[in-house]
Amino acid sequence: MCHLKNIFHYINIELKGGVFFVVVTKPSPLPLLSLPIFPLAVLDFEIDRKMLGVARRKLGFGLFSATRVLPAGSVLPRKYSTAAKEITVREALNSALDEEMSADPKVFLMGEEVGEYQGAYKISKGLLEKYGPDRVLDTPITEAGFTGIGVGAAYYGLRPVVEFMTFNFSMQAIDHIINSAAKSNYMSAGQISVPIVFRGPNGAAAGVGAQHSQCYAAWYAHVPGLKVLSPYSSEDARGLLKAAIRDPDPVVFLENELLYGESFPVSAEVLDSSFCLPIGKAKIEREGKHVTITAFSKMVGYALQAAEILSKEGIDAEVINLRSIRPLDRATINASVRKTNRLVTVEEGFPQHGVGAEICMSVMEESFEYLDAPVERIAGADVPMPYAANLERMAVPQVDDIVRATKRACYRSVPMAAAA
């Protein structure tokens, strides 16, 4: 019952302009986050005591403590829902595509094997049967050609979703993504907008070697005119993909193959067809007070695992799930660093000129005086991805790496007890 009181202390419902907003506040210097609830969505306020403190995820980093306060940044009222439904990221993406295609007849999907094969990773399963071959299009293996066709269709006013089997193949079409899509609205002074989504798995899979393992977050986030999103959980996948498809600008949507099969609990609100997450807003997955860890995509899971390990040693880490690489949520990151005074950035991609470099610079520019330690960064090794399992393990960040770097940022390389 005490949790109920806490909840009402945190949650306000505001009516602004005819739309209900759920506003989560906390008496601490954290940014206000609010989520618009469309009038048709139903908020389930019943508290199931079994649900409190249960946010067990199949990733296996253990139960959250039942008395832990759920992070204020997590506006999603997971604690409100009666039953904890779990869906995989794959199901989340599939349902998001399905709903957006159903809602807007201009949305169509094209890519290799998206139709009859049901999707190379089964993300588009069932869509061909439901929407027909005019809206779910199998393309030949010609990225430059079909990406250009997708962008041209977007010029005319359709809303294509172009799938790359992996983003490594997007390099064959990168001229269309950058020069034909990203820059058109600017060059035409607003005449030609490009409401297109480029999506597909990004980053390392398992054992697929150098040409199939690169992370393109830094490459695409470099370009003005693009928006770059990278989901972690099922809620992220659903909300961000829906936002991307509805967005009038070109969006690069970086998924992760190894996350497709992961299950995450989702609330009724997330499952509603009007659910949408804002672009450009990060999520604080885990509140903490000693150090901030930023991550996106698969690395969020690793960061959360690291945070669990660190909490046993007395280091309380705040984990930020970036969600949006461009625009980067500098406000959330800086507010967090101003609170914790220490920062570790985590990414899977190559380190030089990476996402972490930008985050570090942003924090230095805006919150220099608040830093008590140099910023640490964890990234993939600065080598093409090797195949041998032991080398591959060294080429991708592991939980241990994040733990070690965080301890360095906290000036601790041995457990607290020993330092006394």
The answer to whether 36 contacts other proteins (rule: CB under 8 A) is: no
Between residue 206 and residue 235, which ones bind other proteins under the rule CB under 8 A?
224-225, 227
In the list 95, 180, 214, 321, the residue contacting other proteins (rule: CB under 8 A) is: 180
* Window contacting other proteins (CB under 8 A); options: 78-86, 188-196, 334-342, 352-360: 188-196
Which span (15-23, 40-48, 87-95, 180-188) binds other proteins, by CB under 8 A? 180-188
Question: Out of 3, 113, 212, 308, which one is annotated catalytic?
Answer: 212
- Strand-pair partners of 377: 345
Whole-angstrom distance, CA of residue 287 vs CA of residue 152 = 44
Contact residue for other proteins among 18, 157, 312, 419 (CB under 8 A): 157
Residue 212 annotated as catalytic? yes
CB atoms within 10 A of CB 206: 10
Does 93 engage in binding with other proteins (CB under 8 A)?
no
Does residue 304 bind other proteins (CB under 8 A)? no
- Pairwise CA distance, residues 348 & 377, whole Å: 11
User: 3-state DSSP call for residue 256?
Assistant: coil
Rounded to an integer, what distance in angstroms lies between the CA atom of residue 260 and that of residue 253? 14
Dihedrals phi, psi of 49, to nearest 5 degrees: -60, -25
Please select the residue that binds other proteins; options are 101, 120, 151, 363, rule is CB under 8 A.
Answer: 151
Task: Give min distance, CB of 41 to other proteins, in A.
Answer: 22
- Of the two residues 82 and 362, which places its CB atom closer to other proteins in the complex? 362
- Judged by beta carbon, residue 112 or residue 348, the one nearer other proteins is 112
Joined tokens for residue 371 = 């830093």
- Scanning 96-104, 174-182, 282-290, 309-317 for contacts with other proteins by CB under 8 A, the matching segment is 174-182
Encoded tokens for 37: 């609830």
Give the one residue of 83, 144, 206, 389 binding other proteins; rule: CB under 8 A.
Answer: 144
How far apart CA 24 and CA 7 sit, in angstroms, is 9
242/334 Cα distance (integer angstroms): 27
CA distances from 218 to 194, 266, 277 (A): 21, 29, 22
Q: Considering the candidates 143, 257, 376, 392, report the single residue annotated as catalytic.
A: 143
Mark whether 176 is an active-site residue: no
Among 150, 200, 203, 265, binds other proteins (CB under 8 A): 150
**152 sits near other proteins (criterion: CB under 8 A):** yes
Ordered alpha helix ranges (H), 341-388: 355-367
At its nearest, how many Å lie between other proteins and the CB of residue 201? 22
DSSP 8-state code for residue 348? S
Closest-CA residue to 213 (of 225, 231, 201): 201
Q: At what angle do helices 399-409 and 298-312 cross, to 10 degrees?
A: 60
Q: How far apart are the C-alpha atoms of 202 and 331, rounded to whole Å?
A: 26
> H or E stretch including 268?
helix 268-271
Contact residue for other proteins among 121, 131, 146, 216 (CB under 8 A): 146
Q: Does 17 bind other proteins (CB under 8 A)?
A: no
Size of the site for other proteins (CB under 8 A): 48
Please report, as ranges, the residues that interact with other proteins according to CB under 8 A. 108, 134, 137, 139-140, 142, 144-158, 175-176, 179-180, 184-193, 195, 224-225, 227, 247-249, 278-280, 327, 330, 365
Q: Which residues are catalytic?
A: 143, 212
